[in-house]
Amino acid sequence: MPFDFMENERLFRAAWLGTEIVRRKRHTLFTFGDTKLAYYLVCNDSTLPGDEMPPRGSGLVTITNGYIRIRRPLILTLHDGQGPFSNFVEHDAEQQAVQFLLARTAQFSHLRIENERSSRRTVTDSVAAAVERLNRQLDDEEDEDTAILTAPHQLGGVALLRYTAEKVWESAPSNVQELRERGFLPD
């Protein structure tokens, strides 16, 4: 099935590269216990993956507010299994991309990762204008812990997965150091 593999890889690549982490949480994940990754997800609601984006300043934009709860983030190990993700995929278009990622990269060992959507609203705007407004709002509130993500229509779950994976990978060195300091790993 080389054709299916190539098509899945193409879909995954387009989905992964089509998402953007515009604003990141500034702190790393806790080594022990739970960490919440608050986010705003901004999606252009008037296109389908592969279609041309409408002109700047036009169209509908969906803004979803929520958080991703990561329980006991530990070290990633290479494995070809499915990670314990909950409530990330809403559309069939992103399911293949997510399965492709999880089957060919790292498994999130000992992690329970759950997405909780708080609210969703649709506004008449561009993605860039919505992101700019959210950035100003978060700056005014002095909020350094809420991310802003963007994704094409029906690929919001891929943006959330990408943000989660990158945050876990980014936090791994400090988590390993803390494990050493507490005597769980040799120096």
Pairing of strands 146-151, 20-23: antiparallel
154 with 90: CB under 8 angstroms? yes
Sign of the torsion angle spanned by Cα atoms 64, 70, 73, 79? negative
Q: Where are the domains of the chain?
A: 2-181
Pairing of strands 106-107, 34-44: unpaired
Give the residue-averaged pLDDT of 135-144.
Answer: 96
pLDDT value, residue 107: 52
User: Tens of pLDDT along 26-72?
Assistant: 787 777 778 899 999 999 875 434 444 444 445 789 999 999 998 86
Residue 74 pLDDT > 60: no
In angstroms, rounded to a whole number, what is the distance separating the alpha carbons of residues 149 and 1? 34
| Amino acid found at 19 | T
User: Tens of pLDDT along 10-22?
Assistant: 777 877 888 899 9
In angstroms, rounded to a whole number, what is the distance separating the alpha carbons of residues 89 and 6? 21
Provide the pLDDT confidence category of residue 98 given band limits of 50, 70 and 90: low
Q: Provide the terminal-to-terminal Cα distance of the chain, rounded to the nearest Å.
A: 46
Provide the pLDDT confidence category of residue 145 given band limits of 50, 70 and 90: very high
96 C-beta neighbours (distance < 10 Å), count:
16
Strand partners, 116: 67
Sign of the torsion angle spanned by Cα atoms 59, 64, 65, 69? negative
DSSP state letter for 153: T
